[in-house]
Structure 1
Amino acid sequence: MEQIENVLPAAVTAPLLEQLSGWLDAGVAAVPRIGIALLVLLMTALVAYGFRALVRRIGSRAKLRRNLIDVLQLLSGTTIWLAGILIALTVVFPTITPGRALTTLGLGSVAIGFAFKDTFENFLAGILILLREPFQIGDHVECDGAEGKVEAITIRDTHIRQTDGQLVVVPNAQLFHNAVTVRTDKAFRRTEIIVGVAYGEDVDAARDVIAKAVRAVDMVRDDVRDIQVFAKSFGASSIDFEVAWWTGSEPVDIRASRDKVVAAIKRALDDEGIEIPFPYRTLTVNGPLPVRAVPDAAE
């Protein structure tokens, strides 16, 4: 103190020393409150841990998805920690009431919300998706150009594995705001092809042959719904039939069943002598064409 007084005038050192003394006294007086606040934070950690374990146990018994259990644990743990921190602040700083703390927290949340708008949007969308469960892990979905099997649903994004093996990470807000096609929502799905027969063939006979051939395919689930064969249109060189049947909803089921159906229809039409025509082109010449003999090269 004497060294400080020798360097600085008393008019400067006196208020400074008084201020430092006041801070020291306040710090010593706050030690018990700080200890109580640390005890409150320790109890908060124990309560949060216990509550998270309880949520996991209840969710496992209720057979909830793991991602949904993680969300519930996160929300419950965050709520408990916020309450514990508010209590600790009011213990250390008695002038801070819970109302003032909540007001300050609310203003700070608004500022943070504007700064991280997209992040919070994806977070909330992820929670709603996990709660509503419009699709599950393993479903084949399509949304805004992204199509494939759902591998993971996190708080921020959803991982979709495309049929070519590539992984697409889609923000949850995109899945929440846009239409999502869940192709494997049911065990079976309808698919169709177009089959053409020549104009000279009997339409009813061709329809019966096609229907019989499709029913004989093992991947066609006519026990779910019967197949449908309709004469659809007059094509350029054929009568076109629309053939629809039900099979498994996985993309590989669609491709495999279509392969077998096409082969079966082709084989059945060939066996019955029903022509599957090639495209025909008819050329019409308005005037006579001159014919000129071409001499043989050997001559």
Structure 2
Amino acid sequence: MNYVKTITDQIEAMWMGFIAILPNLALSLVVLFLTWLVAKFAVRIADRIVGHTHVRTDLKRLTATAVKLFIWILGLLIAAAVAIPGFTPAGMIAGLGVGALAIGFAFQDIFENFLAGVLIMLRDKMNIGDWVDAEGVSGTVEKITLRETHIRQFSGELTILPNSMIFKNAVKIHTDQPVRRYDLMVGVSYDCSLPDAEAAIVRALESVESISKEKPVDAFARAFGGSSIDFLVRWWVDTERENHFLVHRDVIYAIKRELDEAEIDIPFPIVTNMFPETLRLEQEDTGNETAKPVEGN
């Protein structure tokens, strides 16, 4: 057997086959170029159509991505059918066989995050700009993509969480309702008049202009503390108009001022030490003084 001639014939056959499909390859490139143009204009049209509706920003991005993805998949299939005669999607899947299963396992996380991103965008809650707590991260939702969610923490850091983690776990949305309630514990001394203390705290809350007037303020005596009677103080803030941190500060200032004017103390923690036996204090001196016992509890 002439191995050189066999190899030469095979190379020549491959070259002739390549030459034969060059027109098909050129036509498939034209199809890809047309696909790019169609996808570009289709996305613009979709943006104009969706732009006139009251749809969330992330849903608008999802619509544009879905339109572009559909057109590109269709274009790639047409280009493959033009370049390779007899090509069909079913034949491609059958040809992959076990490889398709391996690819599926390899990209399992990507597919999971992609589906979770679609479901997150379709639900009503958690919009861009919301203050959320998710997986120990607290901050503002800055961006939602098909694979991940960007949360800007209040300290400035950007945290990127996979969409599957956001979708499968609990997420606290602080800004779901604009008017929110805030709580504070205030301790007053045991020897004061509790009704007077409650009235002073309520006056303090009512004097803060930034507190929402649509809902009442509350002050309830809740517990006997170690050194004080503890009041639970509650108020509401419209977070769309007011900074709740500044309101919290103003509330503390006002309560302290009203309690001082009413001569009601906010006691320091008191610690009582109990001793089972009498303590003896010894004092060093040049004289002959003897140590005297000190009575104690």
The answer to whether the superposition gives a TM-score over 0.5 is yes
Q: Could you tell me which of 252, 261, 277 is aligned with 1:271? A: 261
Question: Gaps (5+ residues) in structure 2?
Answer: 288-297
Distance 1:105 1:226, change over 3 A: farther
| Post-superposition CA distance 1:21-58 (Å, at most 9, x none) | 54455445434444443443333333222222222222
Deviation, structure 1 residue 141: 0.9
Other-structure match for 2:244: 254
Task: State the distance in 2 between where 1:73 and 1:106 align.
Answer: 32
Structure 1 position 79 matched with structure 2 position 70 = yes
Structure 1 position 155 matched with structure 2 position 146 = yes
Q: Could you tell me which of 225, 228, 231 is aligned with 1:241? A: 231
Task: State the distance in 2 between where 1:98 and 1:246 align.
Answer: 60
Distance 1:181 1:287, change over 3 A: closer
Which secondary structure state, in structure 1, belongs to the residue aligned with residue 243 of structure 2? Answer: helix
For residue 187 of structure 1, what is the amino acid of its counterpart? P
Other-structure match for 2:193: 202
Other-structure match for 1:91: 82
Q: Could you tell me which of 50, 64, 79 is aligned with 2:41? A: 50
Question: Gaps (5+ residues) in structure 1?
Answer: 1-8
CA contact (8 A) 1:148 1:162 kept: yes
Task: State the distance in 1 between where 2:275 and 2:84 align.
Answer: 102
Deviation, structure 1 residue 182: 1.0
Which secondary structure state, in structure 2, belongs to the residue aligned with residue 124 of structure 1? Answer: helix
| Post-superposition CA distance 1:87-119 (Å, at most 9, x none) | 232333333334213544786554333223333
Deviation, structure 1 residue 213: 1.6
Instruction: Point out the more displaced range, 176-185 or 273-282.
Output: 273-282
For residue 260 of structure 2, what is the amino acid of its counterpart? D
Distance 1:53 1:105, change over 3 A: farther
Structure 1 position 168 matched with structure 2 position 159 = yes
Deviation, structure 1 residue 172: 2.1
Task: State the distance in 2 between where 1:22 and 1:284 align.
Answer: 103
Deviation, structure 1 residue 133: 4.6
Matches within 5 A, 1:172-187: 172-187=163-178
Count of aligned pairs between the two proteins: 286
Other-structure match for 1:122: 113
For residue 231 of structure 1, what is the amino acid of its counterpart? A
| Post-superposition CA distance 1:145-174 (Å, at most 9, x none) | 111122222333222222222222222222
Task: State the distance in 2 between where 1:78 and 1:151 align.
Answer: 24
Other-structure match for 1:41: 32
Instruction: Point out the more displaced range, 115-124 or 99-108.
Output: 99-108
Identity across the alignment (%): 38
For residue 195 of structure 1, what is the amino acid of its counterpart? V
Task: State the distance in 2 between where 1:37 and 1:206 align.
Answer: 83
Task: State the distance in 2 between where 1:79 and 1:254 align.
Answer: 45
Matches within 5 A, 1:186-225: 186-223=177-214, 225=215
Task: State the distance in 1 between where 2:31 and 2:99 align.
Answer: 23
CA contact (8 A) 1:222 1:245 kept: no
Deviation, structure 1 residue 283: 5.6
Deviation, structure 1 residue 232: 0.1
| Higher normalized helix content (fraction of residues) | 1
Other-structure match for 2:291: none
Structure 1 length normalisation: TM-score?
A: 0.80
Other-structure match for 2:294: none
Distance 1:102 1:274, change over 3 A: same
Structural RMSD (CA) = 3.3
Task: State the distance in 1 between where 2:20 and 2:124 align.
Answer: 54
For residue 209 of structure 1, what is the amino acid of its counterpart? A
Distance 1:54 1:31, change over 3 A: same
| Post-superposition CA distance 1:178-202 (Å, at most 9, x none) | 1111111121211111112222222
Other-structure match for 1:6: none
Task: State the distance in 1 between where 2:160 and 2:213 align.
Answer: 37
Which secondary structure state, in structure 2, belongs to the residue aligned with residue 96 of structure 1? Answer: coil
Q: Could you tell me which of 68, 91, 116 is aligned with 1:100? A: 91
Distance 1:272 1:99, change over 3 A: same
For residue 237 of structure 1, what is the amino acid of its counterpart? S
Task: State the distance in 1 between where 2:100 and 2:216 align.
Answer: 58
Instruction: Point out the more displaced range, 54-63 or 27-36.
Output: 27-36
